Amino acid sequence: MTSPFLFGATEGGLFDFDATLPLMAIQVVLLTFILNALFFKPVGQVVEEREDYVTTSRAQAKQRLAEVEKLELALRDQLKEARQAAQKVINDAEQDSDKLYREALALATSEANASREKARREIDAQRESAMNQLKSDSEKLGDLIVDRLLASK
């Protein structure tokens, strides 16, 4: 037996260029196509679909966010207008109640003045009547005294 190390390289060494090299190259290329067709393309399609879904979802979310912001601004404006309208209604009601209060106060004051004036006139009339009665009674009494004095003489 001879050792291959002693006499040089033999067949089937490290770089043997027989039919196995092209066969191995064909196997690698075939395996690449099979793996590409079975695994990489479907996975790539799923990744692309997810990426498209994420992109459209983000675009829709941005659009909805913009709509929500517009609606929020519109609602804030409506709320501001409603508050202003409510404040105006409150101010008008306060003015109306103040006006009614002043009118009622003026009416009550005028009625009180009229009642006081009526009572003063009644008192004046009663005093005048009493004075007239007193004058009449005093004249009668004076006449009576004079008549008795003259009659006793």
What are the start-end ranges of the H helices in the chain? 4-7, 20-35, 41-152
Confirm if 4 and 10 have CB atoms less than 8 A apart. Answer: yes
Q: How far is CA 8 from CA 4, 5, 131, in A?
A: 6, 6, 173
Residues 92, 85: Cα–Cα separation, whole Å: 10
Give residue-wise pLDDT tens across range 3-12: 555 555 555 5
Handedness of CA 29, 30, 35, 41 (dihedral sign): positive
User: How much is the pLDDT for 25?
Assistant: 86
Q: Which amino acid is at 22?
A: P
pLDDT above 90 for 109: yes
Residue type, 61: A
Quote the pTM value: 0.45
Q: How does pLDDT run across 27-82, given as a tens digit for each residue?
A: 999 999 998 888 888 888 889 999 999 999 999 999 999 999 999 999 999 999 99
